[in-house]
Structure 1
Amino acid sequence: MMRSSVRRKLLLFLTIALVFGVFLAAQQENVPAKTPNIVIFFIDDLGYGDLSAYGALGYKTPNLDKMAAEGTRFTNFMAAQAVCSASRAALLTGCYPNRLGLSGALGPESKIGLNPDEETIAEVVKQKGYATGIFGKWHLGSKEDFLPLQQGFDEYYGIPYSHDMWPLHPFQARAKYPPLYWINGNQQDQPIRDLEDASQLTPRITGKAVEFIRRNKNKPFFLYIPHPLPHVPLAASSKFKGKSERGIFGDVLMELDWSVGEIMKELNAQGLDNNTLVIFTSDNGPWLNYGDHAGSSGGFREGKGTSFEGGQREPCIMRWPGVVPAGRVCNKLLSTLDILPTVAKLTGAKLPGKKIDGIPFVDLLRGDESKNPRESFLYYYRKNSLEAVRKHNWKLVFEHPGRMYEGQLPGKNGQPGAAPEDHLYPKALYNLTRDPGERYNVLEQNPEIVAELEQIAEAAREDLGDDLQKRTGKNVREAGRVND
């Protein structure tokens, strides 16, 4: 009798436990048992053709090649805008930068920056108890109000803007820049006085990132590594200087590849490798008029500062063993805009309260090629000019003045060549399936495609505005601003 009573009590206990477990699972349906660490490398001015996995010549990037072999290489991945500050704002907020009132590359004395009211990836994952760190280039406002510790990051060590904004800039007659310093938290640290100091950018950032992993190995973390190089001026440490066939540019790329390898080794050493999503991509295409100090657009048209594919289509590799398929090439259209909502879904965090433009791609990330999360993309530049729209592989370019590298003699040894900013590009339609180099205007042959893309453009102008048509969007927010 006693045994029967014990059995009944045990059965009742197990039943209650099972029901409670099912309830919890239902509440956390989209949350993995252990949320992943997130590591994002965001490289400055890296072109589509600048990794050996994407066809680079004159040097090798073996750690990134290994990452591609163990993960997925994306071939249709877009930076949200082809310039520093705007592109970084989009990555961290999931918004087109013009929605945030931001454009271009903010200068050292800029009174604006990313509005602290906007929610970054760091703030999104902090809901779930993540440690957050950034080591590298910020460039979203150099005033203290806008620095990373005010934008959801626990730790910051890096430079506040591009490292050509310093007293050694070759055109000081036009732009008088203040001394450049490392920033530790909210405080100035050591100065970066010359190229010898600049040669420590990559190794110092790498060391800080490795230390962050070691200190936070027992909790989930978001690690953001926006390397300042290969933005000019180029500099490599003594360990890599003179080691490539490609000159200083190849040396810099070899050192950046080493940096990725050091981070991957540390993740493995701390037992975190299988629970970490690592994303590697770039803020915009190569600054082509710097010639032998610039990268390669991989055959795409134009480069940094343009709305052609060479300015915005970037190399992108994602790796998460056991989750992201190994050795895969994905040709689906995606953007840096889509990283924030994807990270939110993977971590079970809430999306920002304000409207964003990113689209989660978790199923596609995990290998479901039937998914096509992003169908269209907007190419904005300058303050708020809609220069092109895309749906699938059709791209409609509107008449606009813009930068032109083609036909110009590039510079050499760190000095830039010409890159006129006022070339008038005509309205054109390109089929990127057959013509990824955007050489053949098929506008007259496809009026129905043009009409469909014009509808997308009209909705964008209503929402975000268009300086080319002197229109203000209904849903544009204010950048952060400091008073004198």
Structure 2
Amino acid sequence: MTLFRTRTFSEIIFSIAFFVGIGFALSGWISKPAASPPNVVLFFIDDMGYGDLSCNGASGYTTANLDRMAAEGTRFTSFLAAQAVCSASRAALLTGCYPNRLGISGAFGPNSPIGLNPDEETIAELLKEKGYATGIFGKWHLGSQKAFLPQQQGFDDYFGVPYSHDMWPLHPNQAKANYPPLYLIEGNMPTKEVKTLDDASQLTPAITERAVGFIRKHKKEPFFLYVPHPLPHVPLAASSRFRGKSGAGLLGDVMLELDWSVGQILQELKQQGLDKNTIVIFTSDNGPWLNYGNHAGSAGGFREGKGTSFEGGHRVPCIIRWPGVVPAGRVCNKLLTTMDILPTLSKLTGARLPKKSIDGVDMLALLKGDDTLNPRDHFYYYYRQNSLEAVRKGDWKLVFAHPGRTYEGFAPGVDGKPGPTTESHDFTQALYDLRRDPGERYDVREQNPEIVAVLEKLAEDARADLGDDLQKRTGKNVRPAGRIEK
């Protein structure tokens, strides 16, 4: 019996080819580089209303770059800021929490002893752990004391203003407010003073230049670029390149310049070959400051504006673009919020979630095109110190009786001077069907008592969790803001 036989020439060739092929396959499998983590660019515009983009209905000027971004990505039409005021809204964006959970409300003034607690974890801190370079260029407004500045909250680089640029000696109520000089901050140090409107007109170009430089510097590593533009918050100012160019007044000029800024950053991503591996998010901190009249933007037909719990205060523009991942030319009307950005970015970058509880929900699967999903079930509208003013579930919104700001019935201001308004209007309880009545004009409580009961139950859950000043209740899961003892 023969244990071995001589193989034919063809069998030998086949064996060699087979093992060589396996070797190449294994070699390719072993040496194939892992896909690089996506870069993140996050625009957060100050006081831009839902109706301030031409793709959302703005007239008199065209936001061509943002319209193109919407055509190349997804436009969200029911996207809410967490609170309709500066500091609170920014805290929610960066931490994924309702701001009142963090002990934060309103807009911090210069030299405020309060800021975002350093114990809270931001998007920048989470992505930095994953090897991301992190930079912010624009308005911070989460505490101007050094302990609260961006480089103490996970950002490698910072250039911009520490709070709203109307908190300066040229404020219309300066005699009453007694604001100190406003300085640009570089890292942790104040640099150039913003003294005049001409100085303010350089904010958008300077921020854009720094953002573009950041992309160039970090093009070979993953990065998180946060661009919170201070404009179109008043006082309005446009550089000479755009002043008078829109044909729609100074507000139109400012919008064109902001649109240009977005275009410059998108162009730089393409030039550096980063376009297809970068998710770009564009949104706003709250609705327009309507009593500034022709220097205020548009709420797009929604009721009221900044500083209110109606849709005009919370409903903000949102466009998300990521070629090949986020569907192009899509419109999504699912309920989402700025708080949902943090858990979504954590999921897509592989970063962990914060150690403390958050309120944002992961919307990544919806973002990628699964329109069968409804990641967010409900939303709480808080304002003032910690007052629950409304609750929304799906398209149903129950507004509670509360004192609040109204712009209705007052003549708006002109050319940078605010018109009158009131902070103590008495709103009554009302139920709105936002699908049929997005302007919140028709109370349908009597026709829908079962819906009212469901929303009242949600409100009770909110009060137990977060509290409610209107009912003099303290939430069991509220955390303290950061505080510097004077």
Q: What TM-score does the superposition give when structure 2 sets the normalisation length?
A: 0.95
Cα distance in 2 for residues equivalent to 1:18 and 1:358: 40
User: 2:237 maps to what in 1?
Assistant: 235
- Give 4+ residue runs of structure 1 displaced > 2 Å after superposition: 1-21
User: 2:3 maps to what in 1?
Assistant: none
User: 1:374 maps to what in 2?
Assistant: 376
User: 1:297 maps to what in 2?
Assistant: 299
C-alpha deviation, 1:7, in angstroms: 8.8
Cα distance in 1 for residues equivalent to 2:204 and 2:469: 38
RMSD after superposition: 2.0
SS in 1 for 2:136: strand
C-alpha deviation, 1:91, in angstroms: 0.3
Deviations 1:119-145 (A, max 9, x none): 000011112100000000000000000
User: 1:249 maps to what in 2?
Assistant: 251
SS in 1 for 2:460: helix
User: 1:28 maps to what in 2?
Assistant: none
How do 1:271-290 residues align onto structure 2 when only pairs under 5 Å count?
A: 271-290=273-292
C-alpha deviation, 1:34, in angstroms: 2.4
Cα distance in 2 for residues equivalent to 1:18 and 1:205: 43
User: 1:359 maps to what in 2?
Assistant: 361
User: 1:397 maps to what in 2?
Assistant: 399
SS in 1 for 2:231: coil
Cα distance in 2 for residues equivalent to 1:34 and 1:391: 38
Give the counterpart of 2:105 among 103, 106, 112.
103
Cα distance in 2 for residues equivalent to 1:246 and 1:7: 71
Deviations 1:182-216 (A, max 9, x none): 00000001000010000001000000000000000
Change (3 A) 1:255 1:448: same
User: 2:126 maps to what in 1?
Assistant: 124
Deviations 1:446-479 (A, max 9, x none): 1100000011100111100000100000100010
Cα distance in 2 for residues equivalent to 1:214 and 1:118: 30
User: 1:325 maps to what in 2?
Assistant: 327
Change (3 A) 1:197 1:15: closer
Cα distance in 2 for residues equivalent to 1:423 and 1:193: 36
The AA in structure 2 aligned to 1:389 is V
User: 2:267 maps to what in 1?
Assistant: 265
Change (3 A) 1:149 1:18: same
SS in 2 for 1:422: strand
C-alpha deviation, 1:444, in angstroms: 1.3
Deviations 1:214-247 (A, max 9, x none): 0000000000000000000000000000112220
SS in 2 for 1:174: helix
Deviations 1:261-319 (A, max 9, x none): 00001000000000000000000000000000000000000000000000000010000
Consecutive unaligned residues in structure 2, runs of 5 or more: 1-5
SS in 2 for 1:208: helix
Cα distance in 2 for residues equivalent to 1:400 and 1:8: 77
C-alpha deviation, 1:174, in angstroms: 1.6
Cα distance in 2 for residues equivalent to 1:482 and 1:6: 74
User: 2:449 maps to what in 1?
Assistant: 447
SS in 1 for 2:326: coil
How do 1:38-437 residues align onto structure 2 when only pairs under 5 Å count?
A: 38-437=40-439
Calculate percent identity across the aligned residue pairs. Answer: 70
Equivalenced residue count is: 476
The AA in structure 1 aligned to 2:95 is T
Cα distance in 1 for residues equivalent to 2:172 and 2:421: 16
Change (3 A) 1:269 1:396: same
C-alpha deviation, 1:6, in angstroms: 8.1
Cα distance in 1 for residues equivalent to 2:21 and 2:269: 43
Change (3 A) 1:33 1:407: same
User: 1:459 maps to what in 2?
Assistant: 461
Cα distance in 2 for residues equivalent to 1:455 and 1:162: 37
C-alpha deviation, 1:17, in angstroms: 8.1
User: 2:474 maps to what in 1?
Assistant: 472
C-alpha deviation, 1:16, in angstroms: 8.3
SS in 1 for 2:303: coil
Consecutive unaligned residues in structure 1, runs of 5 or more: 26-31
Deviations 1:136-166 (A, max 9, x none): 0000000000000000000000000000000
Larger Rg: 2
The AA in structure 2 aligned to 1:390 is R
